[in-house]
Copies of this chain bind each other. A is one copy, B any other.
Amino acid sequence: MARSGISTRERIISAANALFYNDGIRGVSVDAVAEKAGVTKRTLYYHFRSKDDLVAAYLTGRDQPNLALFRQWFTKAEGGLPAKVEAIFRNLARSARHPKWKGCGFLRTSAELANMPGHPAIRIGAAHKKKFEEWLRATFEAEGIAEPLRLARQILLLLDGSFAVVLLHRDSSYMETAGEAAHALIEAALPAGKKRRGW
């Protein structure tokens, strides 16, 4: 167990993920993470320099899987570009109906730690959102959209807005409303030849 090198650390990150996502950073003690991971606090501090370091690991661990999920939802969806982007919102709405759902871990962490501008967690969250934005931008560019970055940012704003609003109202229909807005914005930005019907 010890020398496998990966198991204990991974178990701690997994425990941190469950607890931090559910209760927030300051709402979870290092002791609680250690207990959930089945190790002593001292062991946790062997693998992570500090609580902040653990928080950074928690968010880093969510980065790639999260992006992969969005890409998968987009890829698997049928229809044109607007419909494929809208599918991301619809899938997210489905996720948001699960009782354990609590919004976007990156946004919630950045909101909680907003008074610590240089905090690693905020840099990781910002990088995560930039990756998503860049993926959208490249996708739009490939479809011949005129201002792909601007449109990507508008979609991102709708997405992150729906995280916040759905978390507040516990009403996932806002996510579908955001998807419809995204659909409309993309449809309007499509080059003439690719629209469903010209006018």
Contact = CB atoms under 8 A, between A and B. Distances in A.
Interface of A: 22-24, 26-27, 102-103, 106-108, 110-115, 117, 122, 125-126, 129-130, 150, 153-154, 156-165, 167-170, 174, 177-178, 180-181, 184-185, 188, 199
Nearest 10 A/B pairs, CB to CB: A161-B161, A157-B161, A26-B26, A154-B181, A111-B111, A108-B111, A160-B161, A160-B164, A102-B114, A110-B168
A188 B180 CA distance: 13
Interface centre among A111, A160, A162 (most CB of B within 10 A): A111
Q: How many copies does the complex hold?
A: 2
Of listed A160, A162, A188, residue having the most chain B CB within 10 A = A160
A129 to B, nearest CB: 6
Contacts of A27: 26, 112, 115
Contacts of A122: 168
A170 B188 CA distance: 29
Contacts of A24: 26, 111-115
B129 A102 contact: no
B168 A129 contact: yes
